[in-house]
């Protein structure tokens, strides 16, 4: 049986693979860039979700866009870190999934992005699915189908 014919692999939904919101580092729309950079550097992640004050998902922000924004002609203009807010430079056009979406929707999305945000029908943030979680699930499926071929 091929991996895609194995229902244990394809029947998994995004909610089963998700890191829940309470474990995800995030920043808020009105945070100064200084705070966002602090969260990114302290957490070690290159990008994190951006939420509004009611915890709805609005986009993502990464280290590179912040560093580009404060880069002047000859130096980093550090004062811009406190003058500017996350909402001015964040990425708003991001893919997102719901908990009920299937595994293949997740697989397609993480081809071009290291993680995908998950929100509910009203737009409230539920968590993220990482490329790592998707690849681990693919690996599990490959081992299972190899095992099934041998027995």
Q: How far apart are the first and last CA of the chain?
A: 11
User: For ligand 4BW, how many residues bind (rule: CB under 6 A)?
Assistant: 15
- Single residue of 5, 68, 132, 148 touching ligand 4BW by CB under 6 A: 132
- Outline where DSSP puts E strands in the chain: 19-20, 27-28, 47-51, 57-62, 96-97, 115-119, 125-130
Q: State yes or no: residue 36 binds ligand 4BW (CB under 6 A).
A: no
Convert residues 38-67 into a mask of x (bound to ligand 4BW by CB under 6 A) and - (unbound). Answer: ------xxxxx-------------------
The set of residues, in sequence order, having a beta carbon less than 8 Å from that of 139 and lying 6+ positions away, is none
Query: What minimum distance in Å lies between the beta carbon of 135 and ligand 4BW?
Result: 8
Q: Pick one of 12, 17, 24, 58: the residue that binds ligand 4BW (CB under 6 A).
A: 24
């Amino acid at each position: 049986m091929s991996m895609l014919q194995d229902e244990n692999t394809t029947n998994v939904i995004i909610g089963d693979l998700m890191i829940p919101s309470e474990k995800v580092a995030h920043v808020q729309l009105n945070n100064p860039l200084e705070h966002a950079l602090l969260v990114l550097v302290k957490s070690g992640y290159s990008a994190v979700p951006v939420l509004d004050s009611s915890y709805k998902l609005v986009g993502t922000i990464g280290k590179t866009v912040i560093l580009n924004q404060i880069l002047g002609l000859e130096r980093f203009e550090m004062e811009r870190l406190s003058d500017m807010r996350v909402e001015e430079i964040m990425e708003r056009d991001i893919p997102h999934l719901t908990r009920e979406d299937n595994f293949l929707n997740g697989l397609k999305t993480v081809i071009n992005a290291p993680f995908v945000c998950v929100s509910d029908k009203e737009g409230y943030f539920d968590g993220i699915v990482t490329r790592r979680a998707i690849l681990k699930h693919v690996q599990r499926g490959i081992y299972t189908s190899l095992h099934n071929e041998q027995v």
